[in-house]
Structure 1
């Protein structure tokens, strides 16, 4: 079970945005595997963000609280050490979606992120 740490710098969020992503009905998950020379590889780091499209400050804070609760519950068992995760709230979904469905969303998104990359098998080169 990896320990959880927080993403704090904008550059860390931008690096995750350039990596893998998995969309769900309740939020968007971005994830990237850190290089060995980067920060502590024995922890999983997580960040949360909600744009103003989610709503006013009260709505954004509620959505982020729910995302933090999801991460605390799911990432220690399904996350991987040496990875950065960013959970992005969706307007009208993150705060209103039933919590058990959000848990299923996060588990499914993590499974898609950590699944081996599929290669397209096209035996014939394009003409």
Structure 2
């Protein structure tokens, strides 16, 4: 589980991460990673989740979001960044592969962000 300070909350943070961040996609999730280069960057990685109505009804979307939040809490960030995890409709249809897809996309997105 992710504590409050480790979550992205402001729409501007989500937008900047999606627009300017490195991206890696799998069939169930897309991960955007952006290095924090502000004057006062946080001492930890912040993660935000986007689950659209295409994924399903409110119950399904919240279930997918809870799973993603749980899995993201266990993943390692090589450096302090902002991360946006976007769930695709397949995340609700194939929940058994979400963890592996998230780990794969997370690692590839961080590798691309480190290269920039």
The TM-score, its normalising length taken from structure 1, stands at 0.75
Structure 1 regions of 5+ residues with no counterpart? Answer: 119-127
Structure 2 regions of 5+ residues with no counterpart? Answer: none
User: 2:99 corresponds to which residue?
Assistant: 103
Over 3 Å counting, the alpha-carbon distance change for 1:38 and 1:53 in structure 2 is farther
Contact 2:33-2:110 within 8 A present in 1 as well: no
Shift of 1:63: 1.0
Report how many aligned residue pairs link the two structures. Answer: 110
Give runs of aligned pairs for residues 4-23 of structure 1, distance below 5 A: 5-18=6-19, 19-23=21-25
Alignment RMSD: 2.1
User: 2:26 corresponds to which residue?
Assistant: 24
Contact 1:17-1:30 within 8 A present in 2 as well: yes
Give runs of aligned pairs for residues 29-44 of structure 1, distance below 5 A: 29-40=31-42, 42-44=43-45
Give runs of aligned pairs for residues 22-101 of structure 1, distance below 5 A: 22-40=24-42, 42-74=43-75, 78-91=76-89, 93-99=90-96, 101=97
| More relative contact order, 1 or 2 (CA 8 Å, 6+ apart) | 2
User: 1:122 corresponds to which residue?
Assistant: none
* Per-residue deviation, residues 27-56 of structure 1 (Å, max 9, x unmatched): 11111001051431x200000111111111
Distance of 1:97 and 1:14 partners within structure 2? 27
Bigger helix share:
2
